[in-house]
Amino acid sequence: MSEKREYGFETLQIHAGARPDPATGARQTPIYQTTAYVFRDADHAAALFNLQEVGYIYSRLTNPTVAVLQERIATMEGGAGAVCCSSGHAAQILALFPLMQPGCNLVASTRLYGGTVQQFTNTIRKFGWSAKFVDTDDLDAVKAAIDDNTRAIFCESIANPGGYVTDIRSLADIADEAGLPLIVDNTSATPYLCRPIEHGATLVVHSVTKYLTGNGTVTGGAIVDSGKFDWAASGKFPSLSEPEPAYHGLKFAETFGPLAFTFYGIAIGLRDLGMTMNPQGAHYSLMGIETLSLRMQRHVENAEKVAAWLEADDRVEYVTYAGLPSSPYYERAKRHYPKGTGGLFTFAVKGGYDACVKLVNSLEIFSHVANLGDTRSLIIHSASTTHRQLTEAQQEAAGAGPNLVRVSIGTEDADDLIADLDQALTTACG
């Protein structure tokens, strides 16, 4: 593709990173189902292992199918490079790995997926890291939480489960002032609805499992690097700015410039943590991404219709969808997410916990699964499942209280979805 023209999103989601296979002319990106790659000679092998030449060594590190997916996601997000890995949770660890040292912390939004809260509350402590959870609407609280050991700020663009929309620009300003990277999980919004780098984010993470693939077949993750952060400026990020013993003293920031984080994520992160995406999964994700804009338009259209119907129903206490004029985040959503606020939100059922369980058990079209972003409409009672490990206070802060169900609105006929919810609410609420 010509570098002289700025292509539209719909063109990039199909073509970015992909070229006809040079050996066969195959138009679709092949699945390179191979473990290792033959070197041209000993000098070629040495150059690859010294990071003096870019190429393929071993599929734990690099794979041609995965490489196309990395380039496509980076291009759609407006980033310098990307690293794909085995899951969204793996992406979060890989994003933090170059930044953190024992004793360091990150400031994280209270409005995060329950599994992320668990990972940041308990699991990362085994690395000697910690997280401080704050309401990211309270910018003074965010500033107050930053200390000398803070190495990042973390949020979701559209929060799971409640569909809350984050003011990324304000958080980016705080991060810039503190000399810290802002990491934004863009899973729920996708780059079609929001490009966090344009609002000042340093790194963007994805669960590729969700909307990017869109068909419930893949588990995968991605980290996109903006290429705009100076990792050597403060001395806080020695993994990127100081000599790396494993590569004869090479300094990633000095050697690779805007691609320092990306090269580190592959050469150190994937090499040593082994969170590799498989090529078949990458292939499925590439096919899913080709229709991303079309799917997201339908997700938004359906979500707006279903959310409005639910809000008007007497059996529902409230709906959290930011696309509703009644939402406290409606004006922010219009400014920052002009194409819509996705297909994810929660609603409170009169009758509380028990009514939510009955509702979930009574639906016919909606699937009761621990996933989101599928073409199929999905539902889950977060308090008894994805957020079950959290305290009640944490559940409430995350928007996953006991009287709430989370829906991921798919691309079916919206009237059929409304009819299904109607009959299930009748069963649940009597």
Pick the CATH number of 16-288 from 3.40.50.300, 3.40.640.10, 3.40.190.10, 3.40.50.920: 3.40.640.10
Q: pLDDT of 187-196, one tens digit each?
A: 999 999 999 9
**Considering the chain, what percentage of its residues have pLDDT values greater than 90?**
89
pLDDT of residue 385: 78
Ranking 145-159, 202-216, 224-238, 375-389 by mean pLDDT, the lowest is: 375-389
70-98 average pLDDT score: 98
What are the residue boundaries of the structural domains of the chain, listed by start? 16-288, 293-429
120 CB burial (10 A radius; 0-12, 13-18, 19+): buried
**Rounded Cα–Cα distance for residues 204 and 135 (Å):** 20
145-172 average pLDDT score: 95
Q: Mean pLDDT, the chain, as a whole number?
A: 95
Q: Which CATH class is domain 293-429?
A: alpha beta
pLDDT of residue 383: 81
Ranking 60-74, 115-129, 375-389, 412-426 by mean pLDDT, the lowest is: 375-389
Assign 396 a pLDDT band (cuts: 50, 70, 90).
Answer: confident
pLDDT of residue 1: 58
Ranking 19-28, 88-97, 135-144 by mean pLDDT, the lowest is: 19-28
Q: Which residue has the higher pLDDT, 391 or 72?
A: 72
**Considering the chain, what percentage of its residues have pLDDT values greater than 70?**
99
173-186 average pLDDT score: 98
Judge whether 16-288 and 293-429 match in fold: no
Strand partners of residue 121 = none
Is the pLDDT assigned to residue 80 strictly greater than 90?
Answer: yes
Q: How far is CA 36 from CA 7, 48, 64, 86, 206, in A?
A: 34, 13, 11, 18, 27
Provide the terminal-to-terminal Cα distance of the chain, rounded to the nearest Å.
59
pLDDT of residue 21: 86
Q: pLDDT of 324-369, one tens digit each?
A: 999 999 999 998 899 999 999 999 999 998 999 999 999 999 999 9
Is the pLDDT assigned to residue 2 strictly greater than 70?
Answer: no
Q: Which residue has the higher pLDDT, 122 or 402?
A: 122
Neighbours of 83 (CB within 10 A): 28
Enter the tokens of residue 332: 């922010």
pLDDT of residue 3: 61
pLDDT of residue 237: 98
Assign 238 a pLDDT band (cuts: 50, 70, 90).
Answer: very high
Q: pLDDT of 125-144, one tens digit each?
A: 999 999 999 999 999 999 99
